[in-house]
Amino acid sequence: MHGYIPRISEKVLTRALTRSPVVAILGPRQCGKSTLAKEFLKSIPSVHLDLQDRTERNKLVEPELFFENHRDEVICLDEIQRLPEFFSILRSEIDRDRRPGRFLILGSASRDLIRQSTESLAGRIAYIDLTPFLFQEVKGETNWQTLWLRGGFPDSVLARDDHDSVEWRRDFIRTFMERDIPSLGFSIPIPVIERLWMLLAHYHGQTVNYSKLAGAADLSIPTLKKYLSILEQTYMIRLLKPAATNLKKRLIKSPKVYLRDTGILHSLLEIENYDNLLANPIAGASWESFAIENILAIYAHWRSSFIRTSNGAEIDLILERGNRCRIFEFKLSKAPRPSRGFYELTEALQPETALVIAPVDAPYEIRRGVFVTSLEGGLQTISAV
């Protein structure tokens, strides 16, 4: 049995509760939001309501009385997206008593998806995005190969064996399509979302050709974009934007699409063990997205993008903040060799850091200012600066 595994977001949560009346922890279903909240609230006066439970929801029939009875406690409302009308009630209560750390709300939809509901809390709410497990969080429990294969959802990566992990992910995919999407108020036929999700698994790591993808999914382009937005805002896919840069080159202007959790990606493609993964053509793109998700969790407040020119030169990930720029390339090789185009773009961008993330044993400088390092080494490097 695995005990509680500390999350990187704990420090962010502590700071947020000291400055804001409401803190929202948002992330995909089953990523550990409730576990984090319950563990965090153990040491302080608090009350937890699971809004999926009818009995728990009934406690809020007279919310003012409930708030008055628990005024000196942190009130945690789990699965808040099930009561979108409740945000206006929260606003009235907070305006009466605006002390920081009064409410902790948990939701399985992004801030963009619930923005209309949370607009009434503008200036009163802080957001924290919680991902499935990151490598830095579980490196004492498992290795990066297992995390990459199974993905970061706790019940998947910590499963007894690969078979149990595969079965859990199959159930998750089915439940997401049959229950989670409808619960958010979207009516998408299950065969349609299933076909689209499978297509996205095969397109993983590629730039989006909306016309081609819409044709393959038998959808109109506007409908495809709507469905992609839903998958993005429920944390299932990432649409990485192309960089807006002044380089004098013709750039690809379509986003790249990734399934955010590699375990879900591998399940959709029926990749069930590590040897199968290495032998699959998707392995390189899967490694790329695995590293990207771990890096972006640390660079939460940086702008992320990629560059690809019309002649094929590419940088996989660019992170920018103010006048600062850092770039990353991802290679699934013990002896990675970035392309000439990568070096040309690096020279043009002049980043403060240039890392090639690969499964190597020790870091080294492959060219002046460009370093090859493992994912763990890269994460340690960027955490220190």
Note the pLDDT of residue 311: 84
E strand or H helix at 307, and its extent?
strand 303-308
CA-to-CA distance for 101 and 19, rounded, in angstroms?
7
Which tokens belong to 195? 């076909």
DSSP reduced 3-state for 171: helix
DSSP reduced 3-state for 250: coil
Note the pLDDT of residue 116: 57
Domain locations in the chain? 9-129, 135-383
Sheet with 125-129, edge to edge strand ranges: 46-50, 74-78, 103-107, 22-26, 125-129
Residue type present at position 26:
L
Q: Which residues contact 288 (CB under 8 A, 6 or more apart)?
A: 205, 258, 316, 330
- Please list the pLDDT of the chain residue by residue as tens digits (385 residues): 578 999 999 999 999 999 999 999 999 999 999 999 999 999 899 999 998 889 999 999 999 999 999 999 999 999 887 777 788 888 889 999 999 999 999 988 777 766 656 667 888 899 999 999 999 999 999 999 999 999 999 999 999 999 999 999 999 999 999 988 888 778 889 999 999 999 999 999 999 999 999 999 999 999 999 999 999 989 999 999 999 877 767 788 899 999 999 999 999 999 999 999 999 999 999 999 999 999 999 898 899 999 998 888 899 999 999 999 999 999 999 999 999 999 999 999 999 999 999 999 999 999 999 999 999 999 887 765 5
CA-to-CA distance for 336 and 285, rounded, in angstroms?
15
Which tokens belong to 196? 């689209």
CA-to-CA distance for 354 and 328, rounded, in angstroms?
6
Query: Residue for token digits 């990353």?
Result: 328
Note the pLDDT of residue 294: 96
CATH number for region 9-129: 3.40.50.300
CA-to-CA distance for 27 and 44, rounded, in angstroms?
23
Which tokens belong to 244? 């807006």
